[in-house]
Structure formats: structure tokens, C-alpha cells
Amino acid sequence: MPQMTFVEQDGTERTVDAPLGLSVLEIAHKHGIDLEGACEGSLACATCHVIVDPSWAPKLNTPTDDEEDMLDLAFGLEKTSRLGCQIVMTEDLNGLVVRLPRTA
């Protein structure tokens, strides 16, 4: 099974199983990782904001205009910021690393 790594706010790395077809948000929830996702993945908020490791960013699909609009509402944006609900696990993303942004 593919895996991915979450880097939590305190720097702790958690490598977890990442079933194909699930979003990063769904994978986080499955493993008890603190990634809110208030709109439950309907692209209506920015609470599942993650920062993709720069080496992985080019492997992701380009964000849609709707995702870009929601990201504008997120705190602590970085060049590789994405919404976890919009990154769906594929074989090509096996090993993906994302960091949870600081909340303040």
C-alpha cells in the first residue's frame, strides 16, 4: 500500500498508509492527524491547508481556480501550499510529504 508522511506542527513526522483514491484530508482523518477540513472536502474553506514538500509539488496536478481562491483565505501560505482535500493519492504520490502549517 502507498504511504505518505505528515510533518506535524511540532516537527514530528508520521508516516502512514495512504490508500489509493483517498484525499490527503481523508488520510489524515483516518490516522487521527490534526487536519480540520471543516467543509468536509467540498472546497468551501481552507482548513485543510497543507504545505507540500517542494520536491513533491511538481508531481501534483495544478490547483484549480477554486482551490486558489480558497487558499487565499488560509493563514501562513507558502509557495507549495495546497488544500488537502484536493490532493488525491495515486501510485505516483507514494512517499508524498506534507507539512501542517502553524496556526499562529
* pLDDT for 60: 97
Contact 89, 6 (CB under 8 A): no
Q: Can you list the domains of the chain with their CATH numbers?
A: 3-99 (3.10.20.30)
Which pTM was predicted? 0.95
User: What pLDDT does 102 receive?
Assistant: 83
Q: Along the 104 residues of the chain, how does pLDDT read in single tens digits?
A: 999 999 999 999 999 999 999 999 999 999 999 999 999 999 999 999 999 999 999 999 999 999 999 999 998 999 999 999 999 999 999 999 999 998 75
Q: CB of 5 within 8 A of CB of 96?
A: yes
Beta strands in 2-103 (DSSP E): 3-7, 13-17, 49-52, 81-83, 96-99
Looking at residue 25, its pLDDT comes to 98
How far is 51 from 20, CA to CA, in rounded Å? 20
Residue the block writes with cell 487521527 = 32
- Cell numbers that stand for 64 in this block: 484549480
